[in-house]
């Protein structure tokens, strides 16, 4: 009798073999630290992290979409250190310490901005980013009135254009940001993630960092969340992160509507509720963001991952929306979306009753 076949292991999330680096980034202490972390990687000097010929905007890169995300890294210096207002999931958006991601989620808006593969760009001047945040928080003073973001502290979103859990495999930027917020008396950091990095359990945030685990029904995630941690693994990590001093919230984003979606979300909520410790349940909250898709990304996905578009591109339920930056997007029709959001709220209250919604869109 032959032995059962051993399932093939997925390749590591990162196998950095080529680093595109600005000269100033190579000379920076954090840049040198990162280069030493990947000593065998080929180094290619570039003038700017933003526009690298053959990498950004290269349509032919679709054939190597995932490989580029796994093997390429860009090191640069962040020029603009502006803190932006938000008022939705966070009070403010922090200057980015990175851009791009090693994962390849089919709905990701970030890939539309730099084009196609869009691997991680890490910004080495973390001391400048931290100083800008500290100045901004210092001018604010105490948060005098609670809001939907947080009742006591100003909240800064740190991972607008990437995933901090993955960034932490490249450098100590996220560790440095955690140390910053640990000592700021009036502020905390926040980021959403689809990747379980258990090294973060040793960061000792002392309640000053909010990690938002992104969740959707597992069968859908297996199609759309390409290279992300499986949803059951994300759920299983919640209690451990709470025990390690993290504030853990849930990020139901994007909510995808398809035949049977309400039953699938009810099952998801039940799985989360069954897994939560009393400590995790007591501090839990969620944000809910329904899908906004993009016509250009739709065309890209049809070439490399058409199965995803069966879920994402559903014209019978969607309408056109011109974004603020002029992009041609689609979203669920306004009247229909309001009803769907109401259904989502009812399901969450019934099956995960101790999880208030902070923000829904």
**296-309 burial code (b ≥16 CB/10 A, e <16):** ebbebbeebbeebb
Return the closest-CA partner of residue 175 out of 210, 197, 204, 195.
204
pLDDT value at residue 281: 98
Q: In the CATH hierarchy, which fold is given to the domain comprising 18-360?
A: pyruvate-formate lyase- activating enzyme (3.80.30)
Minimum mean pLDDT among 112-116, 217-221, 259-263, 269-273: which range? 112-116
pLDDT value at residue 39: 97
pLDDT value at residue 50: 85
> Any residues with CB less than 8 A from the CB of 40 and at least 6 apart, and which?
17
Confidence of residue 12 (pLDDT cuts 50, 70, 90): confident
What are the residue boundaries of the structural domains of the chain, listed by start?
18-360
162 vs 296, more confident: 162
Per-residue pLDDT at 3 exceeds 80: no
Strands 318-322 vs 328-332: parallel, antiparallel or unpaired: antiparallel
Per-residue pLDDT at 1 exceeds 70: no
pLDDT digits (tens, 9 = 90+) for 47-74: 999 888 777 766 666 778 888 899 999 9
The span from the CA of 136 to the CA of 131, in Å, is: 9
Helix 334-351, helix 261-275: angle, nearest 10: 30
The span from the CA of 309 to the CA of 291, in Å, is: 12
- The tokens describing 28, both together, are 């920076």
β partners of residue 189? 156, 209
Strands 72-76 vs 120-123: parallel, antiparallel or unpaired: parallel
pLDDT digits (tens, 9 = 90+) for 192-229: 999 999 999 999 999 999 999 999 999 999 999 999 99
At 213, give phi and psi (nearest 5°). Answer: -75, 120
Query: Are 293 and 323 within 8 A, CB to CB?
Result: no
Per-residue pLDDT at 181 exceeds 60: yes
Confidence of residue 296 (pLDDT cuts 50, 70, 90): confident
Alpha carbon 1 to its chain's center: 46
- The tokens describing 83, both together, are 């803190």
The span from the CA of 48 to the CA of 65, in Å, is: 21
Please report, for residues 10, 18, 268, 354, the alpha-carbon distance to residue 41 in angstroms, rounded to integers and kept in the order given: 21, 5, 41, 48
**259-281 burial code (b ≥16 CB/10 A, e <16):** eebeebbbebbebbeeebeeebb
Calculate the average pLDDT of the chain: 93
Residue 334: in which H helix or E strand, if any? helix 334-351
| pTM of the full structure | 0.94
**What secondary structure letter does DSSP report for 6?**
P
The span from the CA of 213 to the CA of 86, in Å, is: 20
> Any residues with CB less than 8 A from the CB of 216 and at least 6 apart, and which?
224, 225, 231, 252, 254, 255, 256, 268
């Amino acid at each position: 009798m032959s032995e059962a076949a051993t399932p093939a292991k997925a390749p590591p999330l990162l196998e950095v073999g080529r680093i595109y680096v600005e000269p100033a980034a190579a000379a920076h202490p954090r840049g040198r630290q990162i280069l030493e972390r990947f000593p065998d990687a080929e180094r290619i000097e570039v003038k700017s992290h933003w526009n690298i010929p053959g990498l950004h905007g290269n349509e032919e890169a679709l054939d190597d979409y995932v490989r580029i995300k796994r093997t390429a890294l860009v090191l640069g210096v962040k020029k603009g250190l502006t803190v932006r207002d938000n008022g939705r999931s966070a009070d403010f958006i922090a200057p980015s310490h990175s851009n791009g991601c090693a994962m390849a989620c089919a709905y990701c808006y970030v890939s539309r901005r730099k084009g196609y593969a869009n691997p991680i760009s890490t910004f080495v001047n973390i001391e400048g980013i931290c100083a800008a945040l500290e100045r901004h928080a210092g001018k604010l003073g105490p948060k005098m009135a609670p809001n939907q973001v947080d009742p006591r502290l100003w909240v800064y979103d740190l991972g607008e254009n990437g995933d901090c859990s993955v960034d932490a495999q490249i450098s100590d930027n996220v560790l440095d940001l955690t140390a910053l917020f640990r000592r700021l008396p009036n502020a905390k950091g926040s980021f959403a993630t689809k990747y379980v990095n258990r090294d973060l359990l040793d960061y000792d945030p002392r309640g000053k960092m909010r990690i938002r685990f992104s969740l959707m029904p597992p069968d859908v995630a297996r199609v759309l969340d390409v290279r992300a941690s499986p949803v059951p693994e994300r759920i299983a990590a919640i209690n451990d992160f709470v025990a390690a001093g993290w504030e853990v919230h849930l990020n139901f984003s994007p909510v995808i509507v398809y035949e049977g979606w309400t039953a699938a979300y009810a099952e998801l909520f039940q799985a989360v509720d069954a897994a939560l410790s009393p400590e995790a349940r007591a501090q839990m909250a969620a944000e809910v963001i329904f899908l906004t898709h993009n016509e250009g990304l739709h065309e890209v996905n049809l070439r490399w991952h058409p199965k995803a578009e069966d879920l994402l591109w559903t014209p019978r339920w969607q309408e056109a929306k011109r974004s603020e930056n002029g992009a041609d997007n689609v979203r669920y029709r306004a009247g229909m979306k309001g009803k769907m959001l109401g259904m989502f709220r009812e399901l969450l209250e019934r099956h995960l009753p101790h999880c208030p919604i902070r923000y829904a869109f």
